[in-house]
Chains A and B, each alone.
Chain A
Amino acid sequence: MSVIDSLITNRTGGFYNHTDLNRVEQAFEYLQNKMNSEYGFALNLTIKTNWTMADLAQIGARSAMETYRQNVATIRNALTMQTGTSETPSTMRFLTAKEANDIEKILQAVEVLLNNISAAWFYSGEIYSGEVF
């Protein structure tokens, strides 16, 4: 079990609040750690996992939300995603339920591909240079 299992992708409405942000930010943190430590990436996301409702009312919240959106884009762009994978929202302003779902679908899709990648690795001593498997 990981934070990826708690992502929400079936909204039909509602509000996007600090609990959503914290859940997604924890997923950012989980994926960044996994990709950097196990897959050779060097992601350097700006992550905040302690959002409060008051934070969203602060001056600078718009900039922080853009950082949040950029994190989604950075993670999505680190791999070549399967055709049909949700796109990163172009803005966090007036976020729709679909776009909120898309954000979390992207993170789920990245986790699936990471697991696929490691399932296909060969190990030292198994194959010879130029060998086709």
Chain B
Amino acid sequence: MLDRVPTKPNRYAVYDDAHNFIRYEYHERADEPTQVGDALNKANLLPDTVATALGLTGNPQVKDALEKIKTLVDGNTTLANSKAQIVTGSYTGTGTYGVSSPVNLVFPFVPKVVFMSSIDTNGGIISPATGGNTSELSSFVMDCGSLNNNYSTFSQINNNVQMFVKKSSDKKTISFYSDTARKQCNESSYRYCYTAIG
């Protein structure tokens, strides 16, 4: 961006209606401002440091800077959306179970995998290896890519343990139920922790 470079600053030419030159005049402000205001100039609109920082060359204008900013924002947005996202959360079991009372996990992005574990009322983490009853699903990894909009079976440890799982149409909600609260990861007063990666 370039500032105008006058050799006779504030000189104006006066013409009649037929555009015949009458004279030169010099105008200067005499408005006694209480506040001078900010100049509309290169230094305030698009200094060279900002133009360079944006990667602009030649004689860039403010519109070029704005366009470049949008390009950079769009590019970063695309990049951010392509990177792995992770979220953790927990809930306390309510004791309900069954197809009418599924557990619904809602995520801010489409999860690719969900890790689930549970903590019993005494604070200990229950795992299939130490939870006693190996028929109980209390920690598992869910491959969300294999789910669809209808409930399908998901089992771990052995085929006697079944949980039914589906994902929502926008793929951001995972719902599951089973035939007991414990199998459904919804036992009353138990805290269930999850980690989703997408």
Contacts and interface: CB of A to CB of B under 8 A. Distances in A.
* Chain A complexes with chain B: yes
Contacts of B82: none
A39 B7 contact: no
Contacts of A80: 5
Contacts of A123: 36-40
B81 to A, nearest CB: 34
Contacts of A124: 37-40
A42 B40 contact: no
Interface in A7-42: 37-42
Interface of chain B, main secondary structure: loop
Interface string B1-33: 101111111100000000000000000000000
A121 interface: yes
B5 A40 contact: no
Interface residues on B, range: 20 to 34
Please classify the interface of chain A as helix (H, G, I), strand (E, B), loop, or mixed, using the class held by over half of its residues: loop
A42 B37 contact: no
A108 to B, nearest CB: 14
A119 interface: yes
Given A116-B6, A119-B9, A120-B4, A42 B49 contact: yes
A38 B43 contact: yes
B9 to A, nearest CB: 4
Interface residues of A, number: 22
Interface string B43-57: 111111100100000
Contacts, number: 66
Contact of B41 (A37, A39, A79, A125): A39
A118 B3 CA distance: 9
Interface in A113-130: 113, 116-127
A58 interface: no
A122 B91 CA distance: 61
Interface in A31-56: 37-42
B7 A41 contact: no
A82 B8 CA distance: 11
A79 to B, nearest CB: 6
A117 B3 contact: yes
B70 interface: no
Nearest to A37: B43
B5 A113 contact: yes
B48 A41 contact: yes
Given A40-B45, A117-B41, A124-B39, 4 more contacts: A42-B48, A118-B41, A121-B39, A123-B40
- Top 8 nearest A-B pairs (CB, nearest first) are A40-B47, A40-B43, A42-B48, A40-B42, A123-B37, A119-B9, A121-B39, A120-B9
